[in-house]
Structure 1
Amino acid sequence: MSRGTADAGEPDPSAADGGGAKPGRRYPVGPVVLLAIAAGLMWVASRMTWVTVTSSDGLTEPRTDELVGGTWFGALTPLALVLLAAIAAVFATRGWLRRFLGVLVTLVAAVTAVPPFALLTNSGDPGQRGATLAELPGRAEVTGVQTAVFPAVIALAAALAAFTAGALLARMPRESAELSGRYDAPAVRRAAAGAELDRARSGEDADLTERVLWDALDAGDDPTADPPPAADGDRPRNGGRE
Structure 2
Amino acid sequence: MNVIVWNENRHEKINPVVAEIYPDGIHGAIASFLQTEEIEVKTATLDEVEHGLTDEVLNETDVLVWWGHMAHDEVEDTVVEKVYHRVLAGMGLVVLHSAHFSKIFKKLMGTSCDLKWREVGEKERLWVVDPSHPITSGLDQWIDIEKEEMYGEHFDIPTPDQLLFISWFEGGEVFRSGATYQRGKGKIFYFRPGHETYPTYYHKEIQTVIKNGVNWVRGDNTPTPEYGNVDPLETISKNKTKEID
- The TM-score, its normalising length taken from structure 1, stands at 0.25
Q: Return the structure number with greater strand share.
A: 2
TM-score of the two chains, using structure 2 as the length reference? 0.24
Q: Which structure is higher in helix share?
A: 1
Structure index of larger Rg: 1
Of structures 1 and 2, the one scoring higher in RCO (CA 8 A, sep 6+) is 1
